[in-house]
Amino acid sequence: MISLLLILLSFGGIAPREQSANDDLQLTVRITDIKSYCANEPDVHFLQLRLELTFTSSGGRILIIQKRSLASIEYWRMAETEQELGSAVWAHLQWVASDSGDVTDNGRTPDEEFAVLKPGRSYKVRTDLSLSCKQPLPGKERFMQVSAPTWSGTRQQAEKLQKKWEKIGVLWFKNVRSEPISFTLDKWTKVKKCS
């Protein structure tokens, strides 16, 4: 599947679907690298991060997740405090895919396109994320949260497979929101001009 980042940000879009407090799939984020930091104007700053996303079955059920979409972060938000993060606006990343997104797996069991997570087990992926901010980032602690999709097909396809695989586990097809994380860029970070 060839994906192209069409539009980096579109503010004021639809917020990711809310999750209930007892969801069985948790997402944690770890920053593994700061790829670049640049600015074009005093109030236009860009930070590109390499992230490790860990999807964990945190309840008592076996979960089945589609691997294909997990690295495609759809939404992110950032704030100066964890309290402000809760009311921060979600920025939406839009992707254009070269295929239909249909899921053709009709087997009796999930194939290699799916991860089957027993309770407490995890599946990790790496991805890049570009953030923008109106204020300089070096030297100040920031809080960030992301939302990632777990399904590329239609709801009808998901419900069909969920029924077919119910004796194996629960097919998860809702977006999952990460736990908030904090990060601080070194105050000596050099600001390059964005190209």
Q: What is the pLDDT along the chain (195 residues), one digit of tens a residue?
A: 333 333 333 334 444 544 444 479 999 999 999 999 999 888 889 999 999 999 999 999 999 999 988 998 999 999 999 999 999 999 987 554 444 455 655 678 999 999 999 999 999 999 999 999 898 888 999 999 999 999 998 999 999 999 999 999 999 999 999 999 999 988 888 888 888
C-beta separation of 18 from 86 below 8 A: no
| pLDDT score recorded for residue 105 | 56
φ and ψ of 132, to 5 deg: -130, 155
Burial class (CB in 10 A: 0-12, 13-18, 19+), 95: middle
Q: What is the dihedral of CA 39, 45, 46, 47, to 10 degrees?
A: 110
Rounded to whole angstroms, the Cα distance separating 152 from 56 reads 19
Q: Which residues contact 192 (CB under 8 A, 6 or more apart)?
A: 36, 37, 38, 39
